Structure 1
């Protein structure tokens, strides 16, 4: 592969990444209702993208329902959260003519993932959401450059042809470094290094799961909303996987340093 072809998508990826980093950073720093609204909107966009991928005729309305479900889950008592998110996924699945079960699973995962990330910021605080974002971003960046530069055997060629073992392992190493750096400030101890690697793996599995869905329905990107990245699902699939795992670990009392 020529140098230009190998790195041809780097410029739009970087520009889009900077814009998302600045906007996302401000929202995460401030927290509160602006962040809740932004994450709800992201959830709606994910449902819109999923609906379009599966050929739903009323994708915009389904997206609005998804956004409303995430926002509703953030303001109701905890016992009602899962029923609201499941209801939205099931209701929107009614418009899907093919592969309805796969769409429903994707919708549940997207909605629960958005809720999990929002609640991590609300319950654990700014430091922990910064750690989560760094784990996902560093894993992605390390994997991208190592995979492009080193190449080598594919991680799971039938599902994600571009992912290599070199990029995957580089992502784990990057996550471990983030865990080591953040362990002290977060009061989490060395156990955070292991957790960070597991969260990196969860993020990578989220990426692969979304790739598998796209291959199943025959699309390259979930949409073209983000130059160089594809759609919202394409960009945040790893965050969804990582966020769900962290939230589950929190609920089970297995996150070191989180009260």
Structure 2
């Protein structure tokens, strides 16, 4: 626990400073995050010796992140699915499962960086990114302590034996509080919209956590890496952010009917 706290205290300020400055500094940070995620994914699925596959995944991820940084978000998302589809087909034809898994890894790692960049570039970018961070972090912290203190029925034993329904509901409750506080501080939209959005993002965050747990259990891996003392790998720390960010962005895009600045489009549609 001490290592986890110290690591968080060192990393959080750096993340917040880069978020504040935005621009290419934030894009570079998001790209670094995606690169590490892809590397950890490669190790987990056992694809480290598939050099051509790893090179294609890395080049494709780099191209989509560059497109996102240039404001070409629809192109970035299109590239993500195109590269993933190519790797999936390659895996099927070759009969090498790890190649297909790398296709999923491109979506996981690449879209994480793409949506973070897209949120930051979009309408009220700083507010939206900080709101996303606050929801994910509060969900994670509250779920941990509520689960340990209250205990009770397990959420999904086969995937994550330690997670409980009390933890999940505690995390959701904390996110709703963040939504209410954001509404009070920012305004711009009705409080109900902030609170509902926070609740949805909290659920998506916990889904991202469970997805990573399922992946590690499938491949018999305990931690995604050992880069962050007390936390494991980067994937172990941003799994909730990936779930909330990617799914949240895609839902906003579906509501707005556009991948380009869906938050701004939703705000415009609602007349706020």
- TM-score bin, normalised by smaller chain: 0.7 to 0.9
CA shift in 2, pair 1:60/1:108, >3 Å:
closer
* Structure 1 residues 97 and 171, CA gap change in structure 2 (3 angstroms): same
> Cα 1:69–1:235, aligned 2, differ >3 Å: closer, same or farther?
farther
CA separation in 2, counterparts of 1:123 and 1:51? Answer: 31
Q: How does 1:35-50 map to 2 (within 5 A)?
A: 35-50=26-41
Q: 2:160 is matched with which residue? A: 160
Q: Among 3, 22, 25, which residue is 2:13 paired with?
A: 22
Q: CA deviation at 1:177?
A: 0.1
**Shift of residue 111, structure 1, vs aligned partner:** 1.3
Following TM superposition, by how much is the alpha carbon of 1:66 offset from its aligned partner in structure 2, in angstroms? 5.6
Shift in alpha-carbon separation, 1:123–1:67, aligned structure 2, 3 A: same
Q: Distance in 2 between matches of 1:90 and 1:23?
A: 35
The C-alpha deviation readout for 1:152-204, integer Å capped at 9, x for no partner, is: 11100101111111110000000000000101314221221111111100000
Count of residues in correspondence between the two structures: 250
- Name the structure 1 match of 2:120: 121
Match of 1:210 among 199, 212, 224: 212
**Corresponding residue number in structure 1 for 2:2:** 11
2:194 maps to 192
Give the counterpart of 1:71 among 41, 65, 84: 65
Partners of 1:27 and 1:179 in 2: CA distance: 23
Cα 1:79/1:204, change in 2 over 3 Å: closer
Task: Write the distance in 1 (CA, Å) between the matches of 2:170 and 2:248.
Answer: 21
Are 1:154 and 1:163, in contact at CA under 8 Å, matched by a contact in 2?
Answer: yes
Following superposition, the deviation at residue 60 of structure 1 comes to: 7.1
Unaligned runs of 5+ in 1: 1-9
| TM-score, normalised by the number of residues in structure 1 | 0.87
SS in 2 for 1:258: helix
Structure 2 unaligned residues grouped into runs of 5+: 257-261
- Please state if 1:83 is matched with 2:85: no
Offset at residue 19 of structure 1 (A)? 1.6
Give, in angstroms, the shift of residue 15 of structure 1: 1.1
Partner of 1:7: none
How is 1:233-252 mapped onto 2 (pairs within 5 angstroms)? 233-251=235-253, 252=255
Structure-2 change in CA distance of 1:77 and 1:60 (3 Å): closer
CA deviation string 1:88-120 (max 9, x = no partner): 445666589435444422431331122112111
In 2, the alpha carbon distance for the partners of 1:90 and 1:45 equals 21
Q: 1:158 to 1:18 in 2, by over 3 A?
A: same
CA shift for structure 1 position 78: 4.0
Q: Say which SS state the counterpart of residue 187 (structure 1) adopts.
A: coil
Structure-2 change in CA distance of 1:148 and 1:63 (3 Å): farther
Q: Provide the C-alpha distance between the structure 2 equivalents of 1:169 and 1:107, rounded to a whole number of angstroms.
A: 31
Query: Could you state the TM-score of these two structures normalised by the residue count of structure 2?
Result: 0.83
